[in-house]
């Protein structure tokens, strides 16, 4: 019997369009001789729409979008009652980036449904999505990183001057201001003075009620993919040739100005250190399945962890598949099947856990 793979994509997130690109590639790469493929579109309002069994390749992401005429709760109920083939061999592949998909919310629902799913679980997803929590965990475990501080929206509204002074005294200029929960560089900006800092706060608070401010790191950013469950492996690292001070959303997904270099230009000892730090970060956040760990390497070869992305972009040209192709020849289709196998393994591991007390004799 074939495995039913339900690919969730879209979502109520600023990364909605990025998710469509990832899903299109995943759907086309799944081997139809092994899998029944079901695209499940989640609209920007959060409504679930099952497109049915997919037999042909997706040529345009517009094919993955439909206009629903129902409510969020009703759409989820209809999917579970009518579209989800209960009793068969099923797995969910959440190809959703950002809020409401990568932050543990979808994962929590799937845990309640008791269905295997690809990628990180509730805890690692939530911790990886919240940049402040992630950095607090790194600090607790001695993982090297840049100096940072965080502020909440109500603090800023109550006393703007005090917030700006806190940043200037603790972090200084230049610094980066980011929404605590966001991805794909949405809402992120760089400030070199008070005027730019004010504007950056305004921008970041549009996307979250908590922001993080980080001291700028002068160095090259390495991206390393880590895949596995209890014994994760790290790929070779890759980097991008810098054409801007930092890669905003347009540079990553619209302008096409990013030039990847794989493997990254690192001395062997430094490359090993980066991979070891990537695996350590993966384990510290309790990750399972996959993650992409972004790490700065300074001119004197100091290694500083920037962040862990628990559901990185997943088109055939995204860094994760490119890194594994360069590491050991793993193809895009093989990578997807590897992640599905890991998901089933983790699901079986969790099934052995007792959730009720045993009967005492």
Domain locations in the chain as residue ranges = 3-117, 147-215, 219-349
For residue 349, what are the β-bridge partners?
Answer: none
| Contact between residue 49 and residue 66 where contact means Cβ atoms under 8 Å apart | yes
Instruction: Flag whether 229 is marked binding.
Output: no
Three-state SS for 281?
helix
Q: What is the DSSP letter of 63?
A: G
Q: Is residue 294 marked as binding?
A: yes
Per-residue confidence (pLDDT) for residue 246, from 0 to 100: 54
Angle subtended at Cα 303 by Cα 300 and Cα 309, rounded to the nearest 5 degrees: 145
3-117, CATH topology level: Rossmann fold (3.40.50)
Q: Say which of 13, 15, 102, 121 is annotated catalytic.
A: 15
Q: Residue holding tokens 């439909």? A: 66
CATH number of the domain located at residue range(s) 147-215 in this protein: 3.30.1490.20
Identify the helix (H) or strand (E) that includes residue 346.
helix 332-351
DSSP assigned state of 70: S
Check if 22 is active-site.
no
R_g (Cα) of the chain, nearest Å: 21
Q: Could you tell me the mean pLDDT of each successive run of 10 residues in the chain, 361 residues long? A: 96 90 96 97 96 94 91 95 93 94 95 97 97 97 97 97 97 96 81 97 95 96 97 96 57 60 96 98 98 97 96 92 97 98 97 75 50
Quote the DSSP letter at residue 330.
Answer: -
For the question of whether the overall pTM of this predicted structure is more than 0.75, the answer is: yes
What pairs with residue 303 in β-bridges? Answer: 297
Known active-site residue 19:
no
Q: Which of 24, 75, 184, 235 is catalytic?
A: 184
Query: Cα–Cα distance between 249 and 187 in angstroms, integer?
Result: 9
Q: Which tokens in the block code for residue 328?
A: 């050991």
Choice among 214, 221, 318, 325 that is catalytic:
318
Which candidate, 159, 139, 137, 158, places its Cα nearest to that of 147? 139
Residue 309 annotated in ligand binding: yes
Q: Which CATH class is domain 219-349?
A: alpha beta
């Amino acid at each position: 019997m074939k495995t039913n793979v339900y690919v969730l994509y879209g979502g109520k997130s600023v990364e909605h369009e990025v998710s469509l690109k990832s899903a299109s590639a995943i759907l086309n790469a799944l081997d139809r001789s092994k899998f029944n493929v079901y695209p499940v579109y989640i609209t920007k309002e959060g409504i679930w729409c099952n497109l049915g069994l997919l037999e042909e390749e997706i040529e345009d992401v517009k094919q993955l979008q439909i206009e629903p005429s129902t409510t969020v709760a009703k759409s989820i109920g209809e999917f579970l009652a009518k579209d989800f083939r209960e009793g068969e061999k099923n797995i969910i592949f959440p190809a959703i980036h950002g809020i409401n998909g990568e932050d543990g919310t979808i994962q929590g629902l799937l845990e309640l449904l008791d269905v295997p799913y690809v990628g990180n679980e509730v805890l690692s997803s939530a911790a990886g999505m919240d940049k402040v929590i992630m950095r607090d965990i790194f600090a607790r475990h001695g993982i090297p990183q840049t100096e940072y501080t965080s502020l909440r929206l109500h603090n800023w509204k109550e006393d703007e001057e005090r917030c700006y002074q806190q940043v200037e005294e603790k972090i200084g200029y230049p610094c980066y201001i980011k929404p605590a929960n966001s991805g794909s560089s949405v809402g992120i900006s760089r400030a070199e003075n008070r005027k730019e800092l004010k504007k950056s706060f305004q921008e970041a608070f549009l996307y979250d009620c908590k922001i993080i401010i980080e001291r700028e790191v002068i160095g090259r950013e390495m991206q390393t993919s880590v895949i596995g469950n209890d014994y994760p492996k790290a790929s070779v690292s890759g980097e991008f040739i810098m054409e801007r001070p930092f890669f905003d959303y347009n540079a990553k997904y619209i302008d096409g100005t990013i030039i990847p270099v794989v493997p990254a230009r690192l001395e062997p000892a430094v490359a090993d250190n980066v991979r070891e730090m990537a695996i350590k970060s993966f384990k510290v956040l309790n990750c399972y399945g996959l993650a992409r760990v972004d790490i700065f390497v300074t001119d004197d070869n100091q290694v500083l962890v920037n962040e862990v992305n628990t559901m990185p972009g997943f088109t055939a040209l995204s860094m994760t598949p490119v890194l594994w192709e360069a590491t050991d020849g793993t193809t895009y289709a093989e990578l997807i099947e590897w992640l599905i196998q890991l998901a089933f393994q983790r699901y079986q591991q969790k099934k052995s856990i007792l959730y009720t007390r045993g009967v005492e004799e």
